[in-house]
């Protein structure tokens, strides 16, 4: 069974159906085949990867492009498709695959409250009390909601003035033209929120605040990157030097993209100290150069900056206090001595997905962690799994019948948050299980 039916869970189910005679149960609290990324999006939200590299099938790289062609999209490979369209694509792929293998897929709508393992298999208990049994289980929960900064958690702000989860309905609604909005974070989630505010007709000022104030870069046209023929240097500093040298000889996007075939190997062969150093010093720069946005999205974002509606700031919160007219915020610019103050109608937390098991609000993960069935990876950015994506328990043993996929496994694989990487993992795990 697969717990979660976003991209990771859906594609594990699809590949299990394609590769053998396995019966599959797909469990999710919402609609199968969409998940947060492709279900909560606005119609104008675009994929961050060109359609030519967004096939859901690891063994059929042009599958999505052909599907778009059947929808009337010409020259689809170079386009950035709508996220809602990609959700349609996944749902049709799941339906078609199940129809070709009748009687082997069961989709169950519900909240998983508990999971237990025994010598005979796995048992999942839904919040309704229903128990579903299987030989194997896979956690495919996708990105967990972001954890807001401690200061905001303790500020006791009214619900309409602080949205800890930017994907909760209403986060961009109900604002007046003279209101001001503070967005915490300047990454991909911030981009989505700012564009959503714009689509909702909000014309007031928006401040996006993060420690470094870095914005995602844009994709650019050009030939595909030539993959590296060998794994580069063994230290973070040497790798950085090699990327910079390559950037001097070619376009920087190609220098970054050339690392894709070896990124997971680089991560897995690095020492814990090297991984930690990368996260502390290079991760923000890696994220904005590696995880880019569509050129048209980049243009809209910078148009809002040029018009003065959007201000991107680097700094940290110092004080947050509720008042009669809004939320009074004090923050200190990066490298500055003098604090700045502003009053906003709403704060939206866009700091990115939560990954700390010790503080997770997800009831299933919290239960599994407290019972020692899962443990945090050494860096605390997900759950610990081995190279076969088998979940590792608190005692260090890998469960033979319990796997995890997708962003939850970034501690083991690092590059495991985008479709091109997750589809390979789903294919590998399905081959193991079938």
Rounded to an integer, what distance in angstroms lies between the CA atom of residue 100 and that of residue 97?
A: 5
Rounded to an integer, what distance in angstroms lies between the CA atom of residue 180 and that of residue 133?
A: 51
390 found inside a domain:
yes
Edge to edge, the sheet with strand 112-118 lists 112-118, 121-126, 131-134
Confidence label for 294 from pLDDT (cuts 50, 70 and 90): very high
227 found inside a domain:
no
| Residue that wins the pLDDT comparison between 182 and 40 | 182
Residue of 280, 225, 214, 272 whose CA lies nearest to 247:
225
Distance of CA 187 to the CA centre of its chain: 11
Together in a domain, 197 and 329: yes
Together in a domain, 155 and 301: yes
Task: For residues 341-369, give the mean pLDDT.
Answer: 90
Together in a domain, 203 and 316: yes
405 found inside a domain:
yes
What's the per-residue H, E or C state across 154-171?
CCCCCCCCEECCCCCCCC
Residues linked to residue 390 through DSSP beta bridges, in sequence order: 403
Contacts 24+ apart (CB under 8 A), 332-339: 334/211, 334/212, 334/213
**Residue 324, H or E segment:** none
Residue 385 has pLDDT above 70, yes or no: yes
Together in a domain, 118 and 199: no
225 found inside a domain:
no
C-beta of residue 175 within 8 angstroms of C-beta of residue 181: yes
Residue of 397, 426, 394 whose CA lies nearest to 409:
426
Residue of 25, 33, 13, 35 whose CA lies nearest to 131:
25
C-beta of residue 322 within 8 angstroms of C-beta of residue 155: yes
Confidence label for 229 from pLDDT (cuts 50, 70 and 90): low
CATH (domain of 43): 3.50.50.60
Distance of CA 145 to the CA centre of its chain: 10
Tell me what pLDDT residue 41 has: 79
Together in a domain, 71 and 206: no
Q: Name residue, tokens 């998940």.
A: 35
Residue 147, classified by CB atoms within 10 Å of its CB into exposed (0-12), middle (13-18) or buried (19+), is: buried
C-beta of residue 81 within 8 angstroms of C-beta of residue 46: yes
**Residue 12, H or E segment:** helix 7-19
90 found inside a domain:
yes
Domain end (from 275, 290, 305): 290
Please tell me the least confidently modeled range out of 91-100, 254-263, 276-285, 408-417: 254-263
Based on its alpha-carbon atoms, the radius of gyration of the chain, rounded to whole angstroms, reads 22
Residue of 431, 434, 419 whose CA lies nearest to 7:
419
Rounded to an integer, what distance in angstroms lies between the CA atom of residue 325 and that of residue 331?
A: 18
203 found inside a domain:
yes
Rounded to an integer, what distance in angstroms lies between the CA atom of residue 93 and that of residue 63?
A: 10
Query: Which tens digit of pLDDT belongs to each residue from 131-140?
Result: 999 999 999 9
Together in a domain, 167 and 75: no
Together in a domain, 73 and 85: yes
* Residues 78, 81, 86, 92, CA torsion sign: negative
Together in a domain, 9 and 99: yes
Task: For residues 6-13, give the mean pLDDT.
Answer: 96
Rounded to an integer, what distance in angstroms lies between the CA atom of residue 192 and that of residue 182?
A: 14
Together in a domain, 9 and 83: yes
Question: For the chain, percent helix, then strand, then coil, each to nearest 5?
Answer: 35, 20, 40
Together in a domain, 341 and 392: no
Domain end (from 271, 290, 309): 290
Q: Are strands 112-118 and 121-126 parallel, antiparallel or unpaired?
A: antiparallel
| Residue that wins the pLDDT comparison between 252 and 414 | 414
Residue 57 has pLDDT above 80, yes or no: yes
Rounded to an integer, what distance in angstroms lies between the CA atom of residue 392 and that of residue 397?
A: 5
Domain end (from 246, 267, 290): 290
Tell me what pLDDT residue 204 has: 96
426 found inside a domain:
yes
Please tell me the least confidently modeled range out of 47-56, 96-105, 143-152, 296-305: 143-152
Together in a domain, 116 and 87: yes
Domain limits for position 173: 150-216+292-349
Together in a domain, 14 and 92: yes
230 found inside a domain:
no
Q: What is the number of domains present in the chain?
A: 3
Tell me what pLDDT residue 306 has: 98
Tell me the backbone φ, ψ of residue 163, rounded to 5 degrees.
-110, 105
**Residue 383, H or E segment:** none
Tell me what pLDDT residue 27 has: 96
Cα atoms in the 13 Å half-sphere on the side-chain side of 299? 5
């Amino acid at each position: 069974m697969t717990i979660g039916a976003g991209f990771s869970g859906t594609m594990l189910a699809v590949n299990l159906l394609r590769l053998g005679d396995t019966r599959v149960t797909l469990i999710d609290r919402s609609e199968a085949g969409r998940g947060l990324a492709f279900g909560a999006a606005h119609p104008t939200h675009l994929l961050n990867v060109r359609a030519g590299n967004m096939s859901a099938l690891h063994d059929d790289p042009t599958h999505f492009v052909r599907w778009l062609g059947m929808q009337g999209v010409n020259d689809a490979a170079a386009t950035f498709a709508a996220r809602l369209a990609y959700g349609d694509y996944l749902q049709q792929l799941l339906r078609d695959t199940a129809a070709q293998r009748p009687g082997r897929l069961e989709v169950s709508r519900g909240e998983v409250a508990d999971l237990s393992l025994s010598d005979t298999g796995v048992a999942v208990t839904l919040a309704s009390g229903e128990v579903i049994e299987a030989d194997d289980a896979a956690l495919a929960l996708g990105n967990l909601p972001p954890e807001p900064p401690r200061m905001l958690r303790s500020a006791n702000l009214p619900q309409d003035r602080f949205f800890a989860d930017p994907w909760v309905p209403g986060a961009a609604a109900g604002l007046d033209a003279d209101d001001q909005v503070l967005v915490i974070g300047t990454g991909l989630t911030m981009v989505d929120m700012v564009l959503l505010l714009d689509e909702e007709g909000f014309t007031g000022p928006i401040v996006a605040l993060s420690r470094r104030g870095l914005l995602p870069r844009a994709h650019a046209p050009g030939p595909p990157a030539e993959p590296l023929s060998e794994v580069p240097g063994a230290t973070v500093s040497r790798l950085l030097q090699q990327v910079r040298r390559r950037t001097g000889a070619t376009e920087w996007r190609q220098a970054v993209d050339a690392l894709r075939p070896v990124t997971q190997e680089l991560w897995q062969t690095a020492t814990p100290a090297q991984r930690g150093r990368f996260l502390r010093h290079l991760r923000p720069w890696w994220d904005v150069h590696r995880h880019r946005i569509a050129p048209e999205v980049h243009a809209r974002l910078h148009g809002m900056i040029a018009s003065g509606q959007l201000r991107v700031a680097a700094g940290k919160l110092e004080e947050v206090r509720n008042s009669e007219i809004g939320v009074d915020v004090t923050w200190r610019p990066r490298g500055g001595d003098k604090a700045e103050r502003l009053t906003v109608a709403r704060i939206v937390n866009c700091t990115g997905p939560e990954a700390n098991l010790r503080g997770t609000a997800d009831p299933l993960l919290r239960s599994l962690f407290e019972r020692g069935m899962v443990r945090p990876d050494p860096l605390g950015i997900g759950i610990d799994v081995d190279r076969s994506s088998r979940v590792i328990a608190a005692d260090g043993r890998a469960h033979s019948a319990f796997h995890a996929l997708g962003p939850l496994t970034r501690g083991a694989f690092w590059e495991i948050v985008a479709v091109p990487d997750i589809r390979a993992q789903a294919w590998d795990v399905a081959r193991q299980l079938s």
